[in-house]
Structures are given as C-alpha cells and as structure tokens.
Structure 1
Amino acid sequence: MLNAEKYITTQLVSAVTSDSWRKSGQPLLPLQQPSLPEGYNIYPAHALGNGKIKEGYETLAAWIASHPQVLIDGYTGVFWDEIQDSLAVIFAEKEIRVKWHYTAAAMKDTATADQLVAPFTGEHGAVWGTRTTLQLTDFFDAQKLAEIQPDPAYDVNIVIGIGAALTTWKAPLIYLDIPKNELQYRMRAQTAGNLGTQTMDKPAEMYKRAYFVDWVVLNAHKASIATAISVFADSQWGQTLTWIQSEDLLAGIQHISQDTFRVRPWFEAGAWGGQWMKQHIAGLPQEEVNLAWSFEMIVPENGVLFESDHYLFEIPFEWLMFLQYKAILGKHAGIFQYEFPIRFDFLDTFDGGNLSIQCHPSMDYIREQFGETFTQDETYYILDCKEGAGVYLGFTEDIDPEQFKATLEHSQQQQQQLEITDYVQLHEAKKHDLFLIPNGTVHSAGADNLVLEISATPYIFTFKMYDWVRLGLDGQPRPINIDHAFKNLVFSRKGERVQQELISVPALTQKGADWELWHLPTHEQHFYDVERIELETTVSFETAGRCMILMLVEGTAVAVKTANGKETLYQYAETFVIPAAADHYTLINKGPGTAKVVQAFLKEDHPVFSIISYEKTI
C-alpha cells in the first residue's frame, strides 16, 4: 500500500498554513463542529451530551488551581512551552503561586537517547527500522526523577512534560495528547521532534523513529496509566485546547464500544494520486495537486472525535483499545489485545497514475526484520473505476525470476522504462471486484481506480520494485527495494493460478425477501474474511462475538441500529465499525435503489492466531 516515503513527498507539496507551526494541505480540525454536509463527513463526531467538553486554558487553569499538586503528562509533538506559558499567565493574574517542575530536566541527554534508539532505527536513509523494546523509563535518569518533589511554599506544584506520571507523586494526572496526523504536520514544519532528542531531522527520518520507537514507547506508557488519568486534553490547535474529565470520556468510549462508531479520516497526496476524492468528498483542499490516500481506518494514525456543546475533542484511537479492547474485539480480544487487526483505506488513482509494482513481506520476514506482530496481507475492492482500468496482479506463466530481477535492476540504474506486462499480469477492473493480495504477491493498482484497500493493519511495509521511472512529488526518485522484494516474492502465483486463487468469486450464502448476503472469499493466508450485503429496506445480523468493519459501497446512506435502539446514519463511502459487544445490528437503507455494504471481520480461526496468542502470554 504505502510506506514511509510518503512523508518525504508531502513535506514539500502540501500547502503551508498561515501559521508556521504545521505544514499540511489539510485544514486544522475546527474547534466547533461545523454543519453536517449532505454526503461523506470528514469530521464524524460522537455526541457526549451537554457540559462534558471544556475549551481553553482559563477553564483548565481553574481546575488545576483546585488541587495542591498536579501532574501534566503527554505525547511528543505537544507544545509544552506554549501550554506552560499560557497557564502561567492565568495563574499570575489570579495571584496563584505555582512551582513548575519539568520532566525534561530529568531526561537523559540527546546523545544517550540517540544511542538507545540506534538499534531500532537502522541506517540513516533506510526506509524502515525495527519495533523497539525500550520503555519510557529508559529515557530518564531515575535519580533525577526521584528528586522532583513538591515545594510546600507554593499554592500549587505542577510536574509538566512527557513522563510526569513516572514521578512518585500522589496527584491528579492530566494527559495532553495530539492526533498522529497533526504530529506529523508539526514534524514537517520542524516544530516537533522525537522522544529524547532536541535535534530535528528530515521528516522521513523523524517519522521512522516515531513509528518504531516513540509511538511504541509512549503508547505502552499510555496503557499503563490509562485508569489513573483525571483529565484528557486535546492540544492540536496550538492557541487553545479542549479537555474532558476522565469519567465523561470513559463513559463515551464505553458507549460507542457497544454501539457503532467511525474514526476521523485524513488524506494525503502522492506521486500517483488522483482526483476522485477531491471531486466527491466535501471539505477537502482543492489546491492539493492530488489526493492519493484516505486514512479511512488505519488506526495507528486515526483519531476518534467526540462532541459536547458543539466543541470537538479528539483522542488517538489507541485509547479505545486500552480501555475497551474486549468489547471491541470480542472473541478475538485475547489474540490481538490492543492491536486492532484490520484496516480500510482508499487508494485514489482517478486521472492519476499507477501504483508502483510492489509486494509485502512474509509473516516470518516482517517479524524478524521489523518486529511487527503480523504481516500486511491485503485485498483491493474496486469501489469505482473508469472503463479500461486495471489491476496488476501475479506473474505471467513464463516468468523467469533471475531475468525479472536483472531487468528491474537495469531499469533502476539506467532510469529506463520497461514493459511490465512481460512479467506481471494486468487484469481488467470492474466495480465491486475483489482482488486478493496475500503477502509475497506482486501487484499494483492501475490508473483510474478508486480502490478500497481491505487489509491486515500493517501499512508501511511496501517493497517497491518498479515505479514507472517517475519522480516523487518532491522531485526525487522514490525508494526502490528490489532486494527486500525478492526475499519475499512468491513466483508460483503465476499464469492461470492467479485467476483461480487471487480473484475472489462471490457466492450467495443467505437470502431474504429483499436482501442478499454474498461471501467474497479471501485467500487462505488472509486471517480476515469479506462479505457484501445487498438490501432494499432492512436486514439484521448478529456480531457472533466478532468486530465488524463496514462501508457503504453503493447507495446513498444507511442507518445502523444496535441494541440501544438509536439509529446512526452513515453515508456512501464512509467506513464504520460495529464492535463485538453490540451483539446484533440492523442496517436500514435510507436511499433509493439497492444499498450495498461491504463488511470485513476476523475468521473464526486461523494459524496466525495461535502464533500471536502464544506471544501475548510470554
């Protein structure tokens, strides 16, 4: 699908906001919920009721002032100095004497931190690293942390900074968070860096370190303190913030984890990107040269929005898993625990280009080389396409691996185009086709498709072999990974076997008076399955202890009704989740004509599950 190179290209091509602290063509989340569009909503929010979300430093300062000691912990990318300064001004105006204690003073120096992370980030310029085994305490001097003690001469003592909860204080805990997309926009603007270092680097290098080190370490810290937090704060706006008391947020999370929910999507340009999303989704920046990806539900980088009194509050998705993974994943919770296993995203090549010719790593390879739990087995569901669009999938019958590799290397070295169909099959794409891409399969989405990519969650491990001798949006060639690819390619997926094994053949499995359930079988290596529901009016199903991820792929809108009896409306092309704990759900067609809904879910059992389950217990 995608890999870390996208963080190189978008740094240069996205429009710079009027403020220099973030660099992106996507607008900042509105502080208050805008009026709902008629179709696809880029700001889906879950209502909490009145009086739950507070806005501004004044309100937070008032809450802090009612406690003699407070801890303010949070994530990388948070503007700690600005937040401390804003609160300090208010305390001074109210003549509240505050002693500030900074966790940054207890952190190990940059050189030491760089040595700690070096085994996990690989060589400078390499696309990938390895998932770290470090913990947040490894970045701190334990003695200096222990020396942070309250001063009774002050009205309020505050510990502020990453790791504040590591102190021994018995004090209320505030957690300042930031969505992953906004963190990356700040990295591209060189206003946010990595954990443990004061040094800025190229955005691609900072993203790599964030993915393989920072997010692993800080998410584990989040999980360890989740039930101790008193206040959660969303700091993405820079000039202000919104915040919520933990009991109100936890009640909201519990509710949607037993009902239905949708994450906030975000969008990125790319070398091959298209125009479909810009033309069909209201509110997207038209000044972008294209949009290649929609992070519909790539949960390591998505957030969830809540609303109260029109104010918006966003939390990164991992909080839902830390607090409600059993309700969300049901019978598979013991296997995956905090790792949500399935992703949905769009690949838009309408009036764009072909994706690179690529493959993804085997289960053993992704675990040994990159430290991931499971690998990137994908499918392409064709949501829309032009006549003549196609998907590259599988090898030709007479493929010669050595000749293919030599041709690829020559093309890369000499920057010469090659006739890729001499080696890779090109299949016609039609709406609602499902192409199966188990790991090791050579593939690419051709131009003029809108692909709904249904996949296992890993998303950056793409080994490009041929990129059509084009430049990225930064004017530089994109990384080619022929050696990685040839350690993973399955050359037996060729000839007629491709048609037989890698193009799903729908089978009608259930039928009612005005609805049908079609099974779209996946490959035996996929640990998830896909179905399509086609309905005229209504149809009901049970979750059977499984988490269901759905999208309306044809029609105008559908409503979802779960056990609470309330209807939630979803529009065409919106991704939504029905957690296992919802127990049963009814789909109601709200538009003219037949509605078609794709749903993906984990298989009842799969060999991968036993591997993951074993590792979770040791």
Structure 2
Amino acid sequence: MIGTNGGNLSTNQTTKEILFLDPVCTHNIWGGTRLREDFHYPVEGDDLWECWGISAHPNGDVTLRDCGFRGMKLSELWKKHPEVFGNVDSDRFPLLIKIIDAKDDLSIQVHPDDDYAKVHENGSLGKTECWYILDCKENATIVIGHNAGTKEELSRMIHEGKWSEFIREIPIKKGDFLQIDPGTVHAIKGGTLILETQQNSDITYRVYDYGCLSNGKPRELHIDKSIDVITVPAKSAADSVKSVADLPVNTLNELYACKYFHIYKIDVSGKMTFEQNAPFMNMTVTDGNGIVNGQPVKKGDHFILPNGFGNVELQGSMQIIASTI
C-alpha cells in the first residue's frame, strides 16, 4: 500500500511487464535547474537543458531498469525483441520524448520532412513534433509561424535580417498544446518548460540565433536549407495552439493524431482503467504520483507499456502524457 492525498492505494500485480527507463539528461548554456529541482533527476549543474526520457537515438539512448531487460539500451531492445513493440516495420524506434527547460530564449528553428531529410541529411528521418506546455511565465509567448506571405518575401526578410517583421510570437499558458509540422518556424522562449513528442530525429535548421555565442563563436546557421523547407504561408496563429488544461479526468484524452504519432493526456484522480491495444504506449508522469498496475510511479518517471499489455489500471493523483504510433 502507498499513500496518495491522504488515501491508501491498493496494489495489483500485472501480468505484463512495465518497461521503466533511465533517461539521458543533456547540458547547454540555455538550460536551467528544473530537471533536477522539479523532476529530481540525479544530474548536477545549473545548465540542464533536455531530459531525453524515451529515446533510442544515438545522441541519447536510454537504458531499461526495473524489468527483465534491465541494463539494455532501448535501441537494442527494439532490434532484438521486436515482439515487445508489436513487430512494427521500422528500422528504428520511431518516437522520441523529451522534457526541455529553456532558461533563455532559444534559436529560431525549422525542421525538414522525411523526403527532404532523406536526401539532404544522410537518410535521417524528418522531424514532426508537438509541445505540451508544462509551465511558463505569466504573459508568456512562444515563436510559432512567421509573417511572410510568399517565398520571395520570406527569403528577403531572412537575408536582410528583418527579424522583427519575420518572427511571429503568440501567447501561451500552462496546459497549452502546439503541433509543429515540418516547415513550421518555431522557438521556445525563456522560462518555458515543455514536454516534446517527436519523430526519432535530431535534425534542426537554425534560421536565427539572436547573435548568441557558443564557446565564443556564433553557432552555424542553415539559411538556404531553412528557406527550402519553411512552409509559406504559415498556419494561422489561432490554429497553432489550443488549451488542453481542463479536459475530463480519468479519461484517455486524445490531443492529436497524425501518421507519425497519437498523443494523449491523462489526469488521474482516484482510479481509472483503459485497454492498451496499441503496438506499444510511451508514458511520462508530468505531475503527481500513483500506481500503474501495481507499480508505484512519480513525477518524472518514463516508461513503456509493451504490446499486448491489456488492461491498464491507474490509481492516484497524477498527470500523464502518453503517445504511440
């Protein structure tokens, strides 16, 4: 038994194993301390930038823990035991889930789609992603989209450095959701904490970097590639963000679905159950604590429910962002 909000939660043993993961945390001058202070990841430093919570990418391959595959990398499990993931036809684990702590404003970026990345980035996947706003400052904004009406205007604004004309900022608040398709200009502003779900890719084109220096030198920009892939005109500001803060509790609420992923938000209050009938389901506890099929979980935990897991029993007071393909 464990206690949550003054009540006791009973534990039930599951017949399918939950795959718990040890994340990989990265350092960057734009990072802060919230990954350690809020999520209690055992990483030192005041420049904690990203937690790659569910990832089989070479730049951040997480390790299995507290299960029969303890010590194995997720990429290795994907290759050696495809049945765990429903024998999905893919040469790599398809998704990547991060928590990002942006202490300062980040560079203005855009990502390519699969076709462009395959040709220009040595066969890499493109990068479709989405953001769930875990926290942000009062009256916060985020860069999403741009103000150019044509490719010619886009090129002129970028080459002439007309950044105040080009960049579009829109207001955000905690509990907002943003879908970021390839070709979408975007950037996180300082003081924003997000959970990002994306394709398994690390391809980013920098359009503008505010003149920031890394090790005393400007970082590389990717102007020509950016102009190639930026969508013109941009999706409207009204269509770029939606609030998902007050969805029904104890429900598997679908936030978005596309050919690359399905995203869900679960606010558990007491008990709920649902059937895990996807090839696999990624889960990150973004707040609170509780029990999943007899296993205690807490804020910051990342785990995968494998193929054939069946009935999922959730108890406690917690928020979970889940995803599958």
| Residue 80 of structure 2, aligned match among 301, 323, 340 | 323
1:471–1:478 CA contact under 8 A, matched in 2: yes
| Residue 533 of structure 1, aligned match among 234, 241, 266 | 266
2:253–2:264 CA contact under 8 A, matched in 1: yes
| Residue 596 of structure 1, aligned match among 315, 319, 323 | 319
| Residue 551 of structure 1, aligned match among 284, 292, 297 | 284
Asked if 1:302 corresponds to 2:61, the answer is yes
Report Cα offsets for 1:70-104 as digits up to 9, x if no partner.
Answer: xxxxxxxxxxxxxxxxxxxxxxxxxxxxxxxxxxx
Letter in 2 for 1:335: D
Asked if 1:503 corresponds to 2:241, the answer is yes
2:310 match:
583
Asked if 1:560 corresponds to 2:292, the answer is yes
Partners of 1:393 and 1:375 lie apart in 2 by: 18
Q: CA deviation at 1:405?
A: 3.0
| Residue 189 of structure 2, aligned match among 426, 446, 450 | 446
- Residues 318, 570 of structure 1: CA spacing in aligned structure 2 closer, same or farther, 3 A cutoff? same
- Residues 358, 536 of structure 1: CA spacing in aligned structure 2 closer, same or farther, 3 A cutoff? same
- Residues 369, 263 of structure 1: CA spacing in aligned structure 2 closer, same or farther, 3 A cutoff? same
Q: CA deviation at 1:378?
A: 0.5
Q: CA deviation at 1:365?
A: 0.5
Report Cα offsets for 1:15-59 as digits up to 9, x if no partner.
Answer: xxxxxxxxxxxxxxxxxxxxxxxxxxxxxxxxxxxxxxxxxxxxx
- Residues 257, 547 of structure 1: CA spacing in aligned structure 2 closer, same or farther, 3 A cutoff? farther
Letter in 1 for 2:144: L
Letter in 1 for 2:75: E
1:259 match:
17
Structure 2: 5+ residue stretches without partners: 1-13
Asked if 1:462 corresponds to 2:211, the answer is no
Q: CA deviation at 1:574?
A: 2.1
Partners of 1:573 and 1:520 lie apart in 2 by: 20
Report Cα offsets for 1:155-191 as digits up to 9, x if no partner.
Answer: xxxxxxxxxxxxxxxxxxxxxxxxxxxxxxxxxxxxx
1:436–1:504 CA contact under 8 A, matched in 2: no
2:109–2:204 CA contact under 8 A, matched in 1: yes
RMSD between aligned alpha carbons?
2.7
| Residue 481 of structure 1, aligned match among 222, 226, 242 | 222
- Residues 456, 282 of structure 1: CA spacing in aligned structure 2 closer, same or farther, 3 A cutoff? same
2:8 match:
none
Report Cα offsets for 1:308-340 as digits up to 9, x if no partner.
Answer: 9xxx97332222112221222x2xx3422x411
1:243 match:
none
Identity percentage over the alignment? 20
Q: CA deviation at 1:579?
A: 1.1
Partners of 1:257 and 1:318 lie apart in 2 by: 24
Partners of 1:313 and 1:533 lie apart in 2 by: 27
Partners of 1:283 and 1:376 lie apart in 2 by: 26
Q: Secondary structure at the match of 2:143?
A: strand
1:42-441 equivalent positions in 2, closer than 5 A = 258-282=16-40, 284-286=42-44, 288-300=45-57, 301-306=60-65, 314-328=71-85, 330=86, 333-336=87-90, 338-349=91-102, 352-372=103-123, 374-396=125-147, 399-411=149-161, 419-420=163-164, 422-441=165-184
1:399–1:423 CA contact under 8 A, matched in 2: no
Partners of 2:93 and 2:271 lie apart in 1 by: 29
Partners of 1:507 and 1:278 lie apart in 2 by: 24
2:175–2:243 CA contact under 8 A, matched in 1: no
Q: TM-score, normalised on structure 2? A: 0.85
Partners of 1:306 and 1:263 lie apart in 2 by: 6
Partners of 1:534 and 1:477 lie apart in 2 by: 43
Report Cα offsets for 1:183-221 as digits up to 9, x if no partner.
Answer: xxxxxxxxxxxxxxxxxxxxxxxxxxxxxxxxxxxxxxx
Q: Secondary structure at the match of 1:326?
A: helix
2:54–2:282 CA contact under 8 A, matched in 1: no
* Larger helix fraction of residues: 1
- Residues 400, 469 of structure 1: CA spacing in aligned structure 2 closer, same or farther, 3 A cutoff? farther
Report Cα offsets for 1:459-478 as digits up to 9, x if no partner.
Answer: x2100010111112x22211
- Residues 477, 366 of structure 1: CA spacing in aligned structure 2 closer, same or farther, 3 A cutoff? same
Partners of 2:292 and 2:41 lie apart in 1 by: 25
Partners of 1:362 and 1:326 lie apart in 2 by: 28
Q: TM-score, normalised on structure 1? A: 0.46
- Residues 588, 487 of structure 1: CA spacing in aligned structure 2 closer, same or farther, 3 A cutoff? same
Letter in 1 for 2:117: I
| Residue 251 of structure 2, aligned match among 495, 502, 516 | 516
Q: CA deviation at 1:482?
A: 0.8
1:376–1:461 CA contact under 8 A, matched in 2: yes
Q: Secondary structure at the match of 1:344?
A: strand
Q: Tell me the matched-pair count.
A: 309
Q: CA deviation at 1:597?
A: 1.6
Structure label with greater radius of gyration: 1
1:543–1:583 CA contact under 8 A, matched in 2: yes
Partners of 2:209 and 2:186 lie apart in 1 by: 12
Q: Secondary structure at the match of 1:521?
A: strand
Letter in 1 for 2:94: P
* Larger strand fraction of residues: 2
1:507–1:520 CA contact under 8 A, matched in 2: no
Q: CA deviation at 1:505?
A: 5.8
Q: Which has the higher contact order (CA 8 A, sep 6+)?
A: 2
- Residues 285, 324 of structure 1: CA spacing in aligned structure 2 closer, same or farther, 3 A cutoff? closer
Q: CA deviation at 1:488?
A: 0.7
Q: Secondary structure at the match of 1:553?
A: strand
1:541–1:584 CA contact under 8 A, matched in 2: yes
1:574 match:
301
Letter in 2 for 1:583: G
Partners of 1:436 and 1:373 lie apart in 2 by: 21
Partners of 1:257 and 1:428 lie apart in 2 by: 45
Partners of 1:368 and 1:465 lie apart in 2 by: 20
Partners of 2:264 and 2:156 lie apart in 1 by: 41
Q: CA deviation at 1:596?
A: 2.1
Q: CA deviation at 1:578?
A: 0.7
Report Cα offsets for 1:337-376 as digits up to 9, x if no partner.
Answer: x411111102111xx2111111111221111222436321
Partners of 2:25 and 2:97 lie apart in 1 by: 13
Q: CA deviation at 1:274?
A: 2.5
